[in-house]
Structures are given as structure tokens and as C-alpha cells.
Structure 1
């Protein structure tokens, strides 16, 4: 196996990366350094080193470089306490001449070029790479719905409240459950996406082949609610109990507790119990209340994605195929169990090199900031966790390669 054109193998994370994303190995401490991070090293003189393009760039240390809040010491730790690590700080045992904080102070941020020493009580809070000061309040949705207030020492104080959760199906067989579990499943059947515990409603997807390379995507969404059936079919009008609807693009149509309307490119089906948003093609998301117990391909909505792979009889499954197959609505439908769930459509062959280069060029917008052109995703990049950005990037590569 080898990395694609323009990529390098990162021995620390065991994945292929662009050169500017590669980590660096520091032999003295036997640690991997993240890109753009800086630190002090004694070899035997003290140097200020940073990781750039997979290699360490070091300059000799000048004690006059200490910031106004630091002091120079011959016994400075190379692994200082900071606002982000003081609760779980580990002393690496490496010491030498350099800048350090006075007694009772810690570093605000070890990666900043202007290193500042403050008291623990002055530490700000952090969430999604954003900084918040004491008494600022935010809503966190990644571990259930929580109203969180920043307290002294950079600590969050959170209280849960009732809000909404969303399951998303997009592209070629990508699923994200209510609890945030992401997986791929290229099944060619009709499946139950969501079903509430009280049997008040259920929402299904009919999957078909939609490309020349065996891609699978959703052809239509079926909503069954209070004795009503709504069909959302690609390139066709909405069917309400088999009757074609019109004019919902111009103004909302109401059927009892059901509202149907157009919002930009999306068709919206809104009820007291759920909201379905569909782009008319391969994207649909289903939003429910956070306290609603669910089942189906979208998981059970209990704030724990570890148990989202449950079959229709309630048994936990390890294999995605076994879980998904149990939610088929017809025994006559067949799905190939040997379908590759994690295959790379671009592969590593030379024949697919140009396809991979094109896909990477298009998908780089999702995770790389640019000073050359206006990237519409930059606001998202700044606010999202790195692992979420990487998830969407890999999904983009998967679909673009096909």
C-alpha cells in the first residue's frame, strides 16, 4: 500500500496526509509533535523548535525572548502546565534552561508565540476551539443538549435541557445517527430510518443504484404518520396518500398537524413530533425532540452512540450489515453482505491517480483555509472539531471518487 499523489504516510496517526499536516518526531523526548506546535529542546544547547511540513525547525534559544510575564530559569520543564492540561498534567521529566512561569502561575497556551503566564483562576474556557471568558454561557449539543456556563479555572458548569436531535443521510450511503455515530451502508433495499417507541410514526428510505460504479443512494423517503403516508420521490411531486400535491413551493400546505412547504432548495415536512428536510436528491435530515426514544438506522437517541447498532429485535450488533439488514421492510429484498463498506473508490492504483487528485482538489475546501481565495467553508472550519471536519472530508472523497 502507498499514499496517493501529494500525500505522505504519518507514522504517528497511521494515515496519509498532506505534507503541511504531517507530525514531527522528537527523538529526545520520543514524542510526536503536532503541526505548527513549538517547544523547547536541549541538544545540548537550548533551542526553540517547531514542527513544519513534517520536519523540526529549530533556532538557538535567547533568554531575552521570555515574555513579560515569564522568568528565565536554568531548570525549566519542557512540558509546562497550561490552562488546557493543568487538571491532567504529566511531568515528562525533561528540564533545561529556558522561560518558565513564576510560582503560582501557569501558561495560558503553550502553542502561542506570545506565551503568557496567568493564575489558574484566570484561565478561560474552550469549546470547539473557541475561547470563552468567565460567566459566558453557550449551548453544547455534542453530549446531549446542555446549557453551559464558564467558571473560574476554565471549567464548564452544565445543565441538560430538552432540545432537538437530528439524524442525517447524505450522498452515497452515509449515515449519522441522532447520537452522532457516523457509518456507511450501501444496501439496495427499503429500510426503516426512524420509528418511535409509541408507533406513532416511522420514516423509511428506498435505496437504489444511482451511478455507473455501483453507488447507492436514496431514491425516495416514505413518511407514515397518524394514518397518513407521504412519499418524497426524486424528480416527482410529493404524494400525500397517493395524491399529487402542488403549490407547496409558494405557500405552506396544512393537513391537520402536518405542514408541507418549500424552504430554498429543501422540502420541509413539519409535524408536532418531527421535522423532515429533504433536498430532492440524496440529502435528508430528520429532527426530533431529544427525549424521544427511537429505533431504526438512525439509532435510539439516548445520548450514547456506542449502542446505536441495534437490530429490530433490540439485540446489539457489531456488524453494520447485520444491524441494517434487520431494518429491511421486505424479505424479498436482497443485499450483498460482502459489499465493501470501507472501500476506497479511488484506490491506490495509477489508473485512479487523476481521479484522486481531482477529488482531493474539490474536497480540500472542507478543511483547508485559504488566503488566496474566499473559501465558503472557513466559518465552519473555525467552529467545528477536527475529527468532524475529517469525517466530512473523507465522505466527500468517497463520493467524489465515484
Structure 2
């Protein structure tokens, strides 16, 4: 009986063990794969990866057929799961979700393409620029119309010893871009200096504004006579008439007209030195909104002054035209008329061959003047512009066009300035020695460029027939610069 009972127990146990190890013949309703959709029928399923995913290690496969075999879903192409797609691919990391990389330690960037440096937490500062950086290298490009302090528009930096430094050693500065300055249609970079009218200098600031010096524009006629325009063009004009030296009438109700009077030089009696014309005086006419005045500086021994036809020499200094003009005697033979806006006219009366007229015009007159002293636009090529508005390269035609017809109907032009040093070669060495003094450092800071007066000085000094004349011409050449 005991044997029968033991046999029954073994039979039941063995049978149970055999049933627990038998394979299943059915599968779940569909494959249990994440990020997929299914189309199943019985023991067969078509499995598709959802958008942004593909089967792992399948070279881009997104669909596969699955069959139920021994209770398991088996892919006909051997795939088992869908993984996220990152394009471009993750370089030093893995794709967590479509287009999103998770970087390995020590790397950064959208595709984990850049190694993390010590500079990441100390990003280089910049203004007015586009920037791109991978943590090790950074590039800056200034916005349109902006430049770096060296005038360039790009700056590249690298991380070295935990600091951002410029790759170009000549660009050892912060990546700050500044607006460019503009003057007469030309653009200038921050810190750039350039010359403008009347030898003034402008500097482009960091805010795009220009800072310019405000030296007066200086025009001058002297001697027999030699003229230099506001823009520095020197020429000689031997006319014998009255001429509009300086004229401004571009503001309604206001007008300034400085007239220089030229006559034959009394001193040049030597017929071998023809074609001489010297300054005999000047007339200054001014109008301000219905009020007018006429000031005459004479070339006589008293350096006389007339205001509206009345001699006022003994009343100096005086203010006229409601305080708009101040007239004074600066020296025994030096008269000046100064306008309230800074315009100054100086007359030096030393006899015909030594007299001079100097006009100092504030920068507010730039581009507004006409007459024998030319324009004030910084361009010498248009200084000899006639009263009719035609640019000339012939001083005779230019000068004659500015004659004051109310004073003299016919301008007497007596020819170009003679080459007196060629006429009197024995006088040249002495003249060169004296005139070369104009090029010395003593005159370097003078308001008028001395080098432009050198040729005029030679003409006058070679014409001097005696020591008195020589000294007179020399002195006027020196004093007209100060």
C-alpha cells in the first residue's frame, strides 16, 4: 500500500513538472515595443515606428513584419525596438528624443560636438555684435554700420588658461562694436582722425558723434598782391580795380561784402618790373535785417577809418550796426573789424607794397563764401570759381569776374606776376635766404601755412631795388602769417 501511495505522489509531481516547462503557443495581442503603432491580425503584426524614430541598428528602417513564434513576437528583419532620430547625429552622446542629444561628461553643444572648457562660465562680453561660440572659440561680427575700435568688423577669441584672449594679438581688446561716424557721405571708424576744412581735425567718437577742432578759416591778400584762399590755394592777380574779396549772402536779411581796392604800385617805377598792382584799401559793407553800414579802411599814414562816410579814426574803438561789428586799432597801422559771430577782418596799412588784408572766418562760414578768397569747403580745385559760377584755372579770368562794376566798369588787368628772380638773378640768393625763414619751425604754429607764401615772398624780394624795399617786403611776408 505504501508503495502504491509513493508511486501516485511521484506520478503527480512529474506530470506537474512536465506541464510547467512546456512552451506557450500564443502571444500577447501585439508586440510590446515603445514608440510604435501596430496593425495585427492573428499571429502576424505590421509594426511601424512613430515619427522621429527608427528601428535600432536598421539603417533607417521604420517598418517591420512580426510573427508570433512559440509565444513570442519575432521580427522578420531582426529588429526589436525603435530609437529616436537625431540629425545631425550626436557626436559625443546619445539621442534621447527626436533632435535632442544627451551629452557625455565633458562635452556640450547641440550635437555634443564641443569639449567643455574652463571659460564656459566666464563668457566674453560684447556689444552691438552677432556672436557664435562652442565654449572654446568665440567669433564676433559687428552689426551693419558698426566697427570695432580698430576699424575691423570681426573679432575671434579663444579660451586659454581659463581666459578669453584674442587670436589676433593686434586685437587685444573687448568685443565692443561702435557706431561709425559720417562726414560728407564718408564713414569713419571709432577713434579715426581726419582733416576737414580750414585745417581742422575731427575725431570719430564711440557714440558715432564727431568731435572737431574749430580753428578759423583764414584767407589773405597782401603785397602786390598775392592771395591765398581759405582752402590754401595761392595765386597772384595783378588787376587794378575794386573786387569782391569775400561775399556771403545766403541768409535772408543778412549780407556781408568785403571789397578790396587795387591800384598800380607807386613804388614800382622801374619799367623793367611791369605788371605791378597793390592794395589801396578795403570797404566792408554789411546788412542785417534792414540796417546797413559801410566801413572803409584807408591806406594812408593815419590808417584812417570811415563809417558811413564819416571819419571815425579818432573815435576808435567803436561798435556799429547795433553792436554787430566792433572796430578798433590794434596797432599804429593795424585796423580790425570783428563781427559778433567771430568773423574778423584785419587791415595792415604800410604803404601800397606792404599792405595786407586778412579775413578769419569761423567754421560757421564753411561752404558759404564767394569772391577772391574762394570757397571754404576744403577743396582747392573749386576755389577759382567765377562770379558766374564757372570754375577756372586762370587767375586773370577768375579775378576779373569779381570786379565791382559800380566802382570801375573796366577792370585793368596788367598781366601775370613777373618772375622777378629770373629778371634779377643777382638778387635771388639773398631773397631765398630771407624767404626760407618762412619754412622754419618759428612759423610752424602760425594760423596761415607759411610754405604757401614762399613763392610770393621770392617774387617780392627779387623785385626790391634797394634795402628799404627789401626789408619792407620781407616784413610783410613775415607779419601776414601771424
* 1:225-304 superposed matches below 5 A: 225-226=286-287, 227-235=292-300, 236=302, 237-248=304-315, 252-255=317-320, 256=322, 257-264=324-331, 265-273=333-341, 274-281=343-350, 282-292=355-365, 293-304=368-379
Structure 1: 5+ residue stretches without partners: 1-103, 106-118, 122-134, 152-156, 368-376
Say whether 1:209 aligns with 2:278: no
Q: Which runs of 5+ in 2 are unaligned?
A: 1-167, 173-189, 464-482
Name the counterpart of 1:180: 232
Residue 413 of structure 2, aligned match among 324, 336, 360: 336
Say if 1:332 and 1:317 are closer, same or farther in 2 by CA, change over 3 A. Answer: same
Match of 2:431 in 1: 359
- After superposition, the C-alpha distances for 1:211-237 in whole angstroms (9 at most, x for unaligned) are 223421110100001221111011141
Contact 2:198 2:218 in 1 (8 A): no
**Residue 280 of structure 1: how far off its partner (Å):** 1.6
How far is 1:267 from its partner? 1.1
Per-residue CA distance 1:291-329 (angstroms, 9 max, x = gap): 321111111222222111111121222221111111011
Conserved? CA contact 1:164–1:287, under 8 Å: yes
- Aligned-pair distance for 1:260? 0.9
8 Å CA contact retained: 1:144, 1:290: no
Cα distance between partner residues in 1 of 2:438 and 2:361: 27
In structure 2, C-alpha distance between the alignment counterparts of 1:200 and 1:148, rounded to whole Å: 33
1:380 matched to 2:443? The reply is yes
**1:398 maps to which of 459, 463, 472:** 459
Structure 2 residue 223 is the aligned partner of structure 1 residue 171: yes
Are the counterparts in 2 of residues 231 and 239 from structure 1 also a CA contact under 8 Å?
A: yes
Whether the 8 Å CA contact 1:146–1:158 is kept in 2: the answer is no
Provide, for residues 246-270 of structure 1, a one-character-per-residue CA deviation record: whole Å limited to 9, x for no partner.
3355xx2122222111223521111
Relative distance call for 1:253 and 1:324 in structure 2 (3 A) is same
Query: 1:90-138 CA distances to partner (integer Å, 9 max, x unpaired)?
Result: xxxxxxxxxxxxxx99xxxxxxxxxxxxx899xxxxxxxxxxxxx9999
Report how far residue 340 of structure 1 moved: 2.3
More displaced 10-residue stretch of structure 1: 221-230 or 159-168: 159-168
Q: Which moved more, 1:172-181 or 1:261-270?
A: 261-270
Shift of 1:388: 4.7
Give 3-state SS (helix, strand or coil) of 2:403's partner: coil
Q: Indicate the residue corresponding to 1:79 in structure 2.
A: none
Q: Decide whether aligned partners of structure 1 residues 142 and 310 sit closer, same or farther in structure 2, where only a CA change above 3 A counts.
A: closer
1:200 to 255, 265, 268: 255
Per-residue deviation, 1:271: 1.3
Does the aligned pair in 2 maintain the 1:187–1:216 contact within 8 Å?
Answer: yes
Task: Indicate if the aligned counterparts of 1:266 and 1:278 stay in contact, CA closer than 8 A.
Answer: yes
In 1, Cα distance between equivalents of 2:344 and 2:330: 13
